[in-house]
Structure 1
Amino acid sequence: MNRRMPATETVRMALSTLRSNRLRSLLTMVGIVIGNASVITLVGVGRGAQGLAEEQLTNLGANVLFVVPGNNNTRRQGITRPKTLVLEDAEAIAEQVPSVKRVAPQINSNQVVQAGARSATSSIYGVTPEFVPVRSFEVAKGRFISSQDESGARAVAVLGSDLRTKLFPTGAAIGQQVRIGNQAFKVVGVMAPKGAVFGSNQDENAYIPLSTMVSRITGRDPIYGVSLTFISVEARDEQSTGAAKFQITNLLRQRHRILRDDDFAVRSQKDALTIVGTITGGLTLMLAAIGGISLLVGGIGIMNIMLVSVSERTEEIGLRKALGARSSDVLQQFLVESLVLASLGGAIGTLVGLGTVSLVAAFTPLPAAIGATTVVVTVGLSGSIGLFFGVVPARRAAKLDPIVALRSL
């Protein structure tokens, strides 16, 4: 009666076979290495993109709401209302909504900013003094827009840190004059670096009084008055954001005489985080699926090479079975060979992927990172793929008739 081969002997023989064909073994692992590295890298980059977006949104403040004009689902038939948000809407929110602490109306306009021979195209923000506390910005040098600047429509400007560097690379900017469009402005402050928000670099902006923006750059609509780009609203605390959103929505519906669909939207940080999480989560899943295809191709490569190995080792298999080896012993040896190839390739690919993720995190703004669970799952998946695609070659080897196999000797 044939005795079962010890598992240690099966592993030893499998490793010996792989070592005797080093080049083939290495080439067989390439597909798994690429697949694992792709999954780790793409998932890490996807999580980095999600983390960057969430970090930018967090910088806006947990209790900040944004009132934006327009709605894709708006039906305009039979509804009388302002065509967009206006300054009176912001004033009404500040006066009539009890859960609101501060309101910062804003008008945006892209203009060329000049200082001597240097110039740069920049986003000009017409704002009020409330902009800084509501949006959690900081002034690095000088001062921000004051209430006197706003009431007097003064020609003063505050520059973002990057814009200041472009216009005044060697000298101080405070007290200097810049031209925004065709108008001269005195620089009274420089903002602290803020970074990008929603893909827009806030450090390249310039800030002027909202009243000055209306009187000198954008003008006033003869029918609707001062149209706003959006309104930033700071609720009294994070717990009040829900109440503030509800109260602002009701107030604007009354002011705009909304009968059916709103012509505005009130967005909170949580809404934005939910949207960003859904988008980036789907993106990460798609990237992981793309990497998974590489793993699948690597598994097919293992099966192909193992089938070739079975054909080349027909005499060896027949001799082993003639000397008493069981079909299960042959099956186990080929499965172990497939598992070793896939697991070793998975481990190497994981190291390559982790190295790539570290480089992305070090040299790009993306805080790319990968969790231990993802690493374990990916390595385990590569090993499972090795077992799955090694079954067919292993079964073919195990079913060889020793007499037929030995005829080829």
Structure 2
Amino acid sequence: MAPKLPPLETVGMALSTLRANRMRSLLTMLGIVIGNASVITLVGVGRGAQNLADSQLSSLGANVLFILPGRNDTRRQGIDVPKTLVLEDAEAIAEQVPSVRRVVPQITLSEVVQSGAQAVTSSISGVTPDFVPVRSFEVAQGRFLSESDVRSARSVVVLGPDLRDKLIPTGQAIGRQVRIRDQSFEVIGVMAPKGAVFGSNQDEAAYIPLTTMVSRLSGRDPTYGVVLSFISVEAVDEQRTSAANFQITNLLRQRHRILREDDFVVRSQKEAQSIVGTITGGLTLMLAAIAAVSLLVGGIGIMNIMLVSVSERTEEIGLRKALGARSTDVLLQFLVESMVLACAGGVVGSAVGISAVSLVALFTPLPAAIAPATVAGTVLLSGSIGLFFGVVPARRAAQLDPIVALRSL
């Protein structure tokens, strides 16, 4: 029986063969490179989107609840939200729910804001002074709304930083006059940058006293009274958020005389994070699965090239077998060639993917990142694909009859 070739000699022969056909080897690796780069890039971007959403939701505060009008199904289907939240609901929550520290009723409208020749369509929110601590906002210039502003229904406004830059690009904003629906408001403050929350750019919003919103913009509904867009609630602490949710739900059910379905929705920051995490995680998995098809195509390319290589190297295989090489040695050599092509392509593709993720993080707001385990997993997957698709060519080479193979010499 012929002696078994040492593993290092088998690897050396495989590498020598690949070096002898450099261009073919590089082109064969290209499919694996593209597949690995696609997987790593899309997974990195998906995780970046999830990290961005988590950071935005975390900025809302762990003990903040949001009460929105309408049932879950109406909000999902885009049906007009019914008028189920009123100012009296917010006042009742503040007075009767012991696990609540602050309550912020809010009315939000979309209006044109003007300053001189500049006009911008913006989100205008009527709020109370507790808006800043509850929603974790900060004031960069001037001041926010005060209790006196709310009691007197003063015509004052606080601008988001982006809105301020568009309306008053030069000069001091504090003390300037802007017009909202042909009514004059004095700018008393400019907010610090906050970014987008729930798809809405908070830096392009404006804030006025809730009473001013009711008396000058939104008005009172003759049937319902002061209708709110939503209510923000700050629990005493994070541990009592669930208790606050339970108590608020029971209180509003009693006030609205609900027997079956709730006509409001209470959402916490953790629930929002869970929902967003599920969505972004599913999208990331779907994108990774689509990108993995490129790896499959690359594996098929490796199998095709190796089959061609078996046909071209029939004489070589026959000669090796005639000189004493075993079928196992031939099998291992072709498997090693397939795995080297796949693993090398995986390493190069991983480097390309990591570079792409770094560029995304550098030039976009997404804090894109890729875990080392993902990189290691894709390289391992590439090697497995090389092994899987290299089996058929390797077996064909190993099963060649040396006599038949040498007839072509």
TM-score category by the smaller chain?
over 0.9
**Matching residue of 2:193:** 193
Q: Does 1:369 align with 2:369?
A: yes
Q: Which residue of 1 aligns with 2:277?
A: 277
Distance 2:125 2:367 in 1: 29
Q: Given residue 389 of structure 1, which amino acid in structure 2 is its aligned partner?
A: F
SS, match of residue 392 in structure 1:
helix
For residue 150 of structure 1, what is the aligned residue in structure 2?
Answer: 150
- Equivalent-residue separation in structure 2 for 1:370 and 1:64 (angstroms): 31
Partner of 1:244: 244
Q: Deviations over 1:204-246 (max 9, x none)?
A: 0000011111111111100100100000000000001000000
Q: Deviations over 1:177-202 (max 9, x none)?
A: 00011111010111111111112110
Structure 2: tracts of 5 or more residues without a match:
75-81
Aligned length: 402
Alignment match, 2:217: 217
d(CA) in 2 for partners of 1:318, 1:272: 66
Identity of aligned residues (%): 78
Q: Residue 72 of structure 2 contacts residue 265 of structure 2 at CA under 8 Å; is this kept in 1?
A: no
Corresponding letter in the other structure for 1:46: G
Contact 1:64–1:134 under 8 Å retained in 2: yes
Residue 56 of structure 2 aligns with which residue? 56
> Does structure 1 conserve the Cα–Cα contact (< 8 Å) formed by 2:113 and 2:119?
yes
* Contact 2:86/2:224, CA 8 A, preserved across alignment: yes
Output the amino acid matched with 1:334.
F
The separation in 2 between residues aligned to 1:402 and 1:3, in whole angstroms, is: 17
Q: Would the aligned equivalents of 1:107 and 1:126 in 2 still touch at CA under 8 Å?
A: yes
- By how many angstroms is 1:73 displaced? 4.4
Query: Could you tell me the TM-score, scaled by structure 2's length?
Result: 0.97
- Aligned partner of 2:359 in structure 1 is 359
2:139 alignment counterpart: 139
CA shift digits 1:356-380 (9 cap, x unpaired)? 0000011100010010111111100
Match of 1:31 in 2: 31
RMSD: 0.9
Question: CA separation in 1, counterparts of 2:306 and 2:39?
Answer: 24
Aligned positions of 1:4-403 closer than 5 A: 4-73=4-73, 83-403=83-403
| Distance (Å, rounded) in 1 between the aligned partners of 2:141 and 2:10 | 73
Deviations 1:320-351 (A, max 9, x none): 10111100000000000000000000000000
Q: CA deviation at 1:291?
A: 1.5
Task: Please give the alpha-carbon distance, in whole angstroms, between the structure 1 residues aligned to 2:273 and 2:73.
Answer: 22
The residue number in structure 2 matching 1:79 is: none
Offset of residue 24 of structure 1: 0.2
1:78 is matched with which residue?
A: none
Partner amino acid, structure 1, of 2:4: R
* CA shift for structure 1 position 72: 3.6
Please list every run of 5 or more consecutive structure 1 residues that lacks an aligned counterpart in the other structure: 75-81
* Equivalent position amino acid for 2:354 in 1: L
Amino acid at match of 1:336: V
What amino acid maps onto 2:84 in structure 1? T
Q: 2:66, 2:266 within 8 Å by CA — same for their partners in 1?
A: yes
Cα distance in 1 between the residues matched to 2:38 and 2:104: 45
CA–CA distance in structure 1, aligned partners of residues 355 and 73 of structure 2: 46
Q: Which amino acid aligns with 1:355?
A: S
The answer on whether the counterparts of 1:175 and 1:186 sit within 8 Å (CA) in structure 2 is yes
